[in-house]
Copies of this chain bind each other. A is one copy, B any other.
Amino acid sequence: LGIGDDAAVIKVKNRSPALVTTDMLMDGVHFDLVKDDPRLVGRKALAVNLSDIAAMAGRPTVAVVSVSLPRKGGRRIAVELFKGIQKLATEFGVSIAGGDTNSWNGPLVIAVTLLGEPTQKRPVLRSGAKPGDVIFVTGELGGTRLSKHLTFKPRIEEAQWLHKHFRVSAMIDISDGLVSDLGHILEESRCGAALRRKAIPVSKKKGVTLANALTDGEDFELCFTVPAKDSWRLAQLGKLPSGVKVAAIGTVISGEGIFWLEQAGSLTPVKAAVIGYRHEFD
């Protein structure tokens, strides 16, 4: 399974399958060293990868870290970065196996590659959603970029628990925004979705709107689908054993597009203007 899911599933002859994912963070784009603690930057560089392994319901194992340090102050930044990485690595049982340390006249760039293993039966892909499946999200959505994008907790434990106790048919982590990332599941699964406006768990943080919950990047919560038959049991829980909320927000439907399920039962398109973060270059 190559490019396109949260992590790649790699199968080498005579080996059980492994997961691999990689993310690169750049100063001024994913963090801002003028105000952000380099320890939290290191933490985030690993955390975003943990979130990808979570989205496959995997168990993280080994990471490697590459950095391009600014020449000025680079040594101090390196020490802090690695402290932040190591702390989170320990928390999630990840070994830091190596890396590559460079310096240059440019801004800080950090790339982490994380290996993992599928848990239980197999990795959960984006492509397994079927019409009738119920769509869930963990936690609360929106406004993360203003607050906890450096400190969010990757949903490794939650994903494994869900995978163990429910038939999770598709899963993704919300890094580009709910609509955008749910869109990836729907595209890979060749389905559409009908969402209930009132079911979206909009963050209670001040100033966060439904639009934020739909489009803000870097929530790093899980969006996943469960066959209808199993979904009632999960919807009734309200919270996972870790204390993280879980909410049923809608249903997978046949056809294309993301719609609001109106009270009268009709479907109106979720506005096309509402798209998540896009990587732009010419």
Which residues in A have some Cβ–Cβ distance to B below 8 Å? 2-5, 7-8, 10, 12, 14-16, 18, 20-24, 26, 28-29, 61-62, 64-75, 78, 95-107, 109, 111, 113, 115, 117, 279-282
Pairs A–B under 8 Å by Cβ, sample size 11: A2-B98, A8-B64, A14-B16, A21-B64, A22-B111, A26-B102, A29-B102, A102-B279, A103-B279, A103-B280, A111-B113
Which residue of B69, B75, B109, B279 contacts A101 across the interface (Cβ within 8 Å)? B279
A106 engages B26 (CB within 8 Å)? yes
- What's the minimum C-beta distance from A203 to chain B, rounded to whole angstroms? 26
B282 engages A10 (CB within 8 Å)? no
CA distance A100 to B25 in the complex (A): 10
B67 engages A10 (CB within 8 Å)? no
B98 engages A7 (CB within 8 Å)? yes
Which residue of B10, B15, B97 contacts A15 across the interface (Cβ within 8 Å)? B15
A66 engages B111 (CB within 8 Å)? yes
Residues from chain B with a CB closer than 8 A to the CB of A101 are 279
A99 engages B12 (CB within 8 Å)? no
Residues from chain B with a CB closer than 8 A to the CB of A113 are 20, 22, 64, 66, 111, 113
Question: Which 10 pairs show the lowest CB-CB distances between chains A and B?
Answer: A74-B281, A8-B97, A103-B281, A113-B113, A24-B66, A111-B111, A8-B98, A22-B64, A66-B111, A3-B98
Residues from chain B with a CB closer than 8 A to the CB of A29 are 102, 104
| Known pairs A102-B26, A105-B28; A10 contacts B68 (CB<8 A) | no
Which residue of B62, B68, B78 contacts A20 across the interface (Cβ within 8 Å)? B62
Residues from chain B with a CB closer than 8 A to the CB of A2 are 95-98
Residues from chain B with a CB closer than 8 A to the CB of A95 are 2, 10
A26 engages B64 (CB within 8 Å)? no
CA distance A15 to B59 in the complex (A): 14
Which residue of B12, B14, B78, B115 contacts A10 across the interface (Cβ within 8 Å)? B115
Residues from chain B with a CB closer than 8 A to the CB of A12 are 61-62, 115, 117
CA distance A18 to B10 in the complex (A): 13
Which residue of B71, B100, B107 contacts A24 across the interface (Cβ within 8 Å)? B100
Residues from chain B with a CB closer than 8 A to the CB of A111 are 22, 24, 66, 100, 111, 113
- What's the minimum C-beta distance from A15 to chain B, rounded to whole angstroms? 7
Residue on B with the closest CB to A12?
B61
Residue on B with the closest CB to A64?
B22
| Known pairs A66-B22, A67-B24; A75 contacts B281 (CB<8 A) | yes
CA distance A274 to B109 in the complex (A): 31
CA distance A66 to B3 in the complex (A): 12
Residue on B with the closest CB to A1?
B97
